[in-house]
Amino acid sequence: MQVDGSNVIQAPRERVWTLLQDPGVLARCVPGVQEMTPDGPDSYTAVLNVAVGPVKGKFKAKVKISNQVPPESMTLQIEAKAPTGIVNAVGQLVLVDQGESTRVDWSGEPKMMGMIASLAGRLIGGISKSQADVFFGNLEKEALKPVPA
């Protein structure tokens, strides 16, 4: 299943790009993140409490960022495992410069296995959109904070 959308952040593209490279910012922005730790160049390990429809669980995730074209685009690869199943996803972020704001076009293809696929598979499109809205709302709050000197 393909999911996609666009969100506008009220900050210049370079600022948005910088925020997307900061694991501390990402940990504060991604819904359900308990911890996020760098474990190599452009690679992170994360623990998330996630509810996908009727399925709730603590997921251990690996996140890899690749195909970076600063400050324009990047690819994210995510593999998350929990007792309720596995979620693998590949996503693309494209940052479009709109002067004092940035439109982030996103797309992805989540694949689920296990109980999570059978119980929440039909809901993933709507859940992806709502989680993206939360993430980008949080990212905009980060973007509006004063830049440290």
Per-residue pLDDT tens digits for 95-119: 999 999 999 999 998 888 888 777 6
The sign of the dihedral angle between the CA atoms of 10, 15, 20, 25 is negative
pTM comes to 0.89
- Residue 59 contacts residue 47 (beta carbons within 8 Å): yes
Q: Is 40 left (phi over 0), alpha (psi -120 to 50) or beta?
A: left
Instruction: Report which of 87, 80, 141, 90 is spatially closest to residue 111, judged by C-alpha positions.
Output: 87
pLDDT at 122 over 70: no
Q: Is cis: bond before 12, omega within 30 of 0?
A: no
In whole angstroms, give the CA distance from residue 81 to residue 48. Answer: 10
Average pLDDT over residues 27-34: 92
Per-residue pLDDT tens digits for 66-85: 999 999 999 999 999 999 88
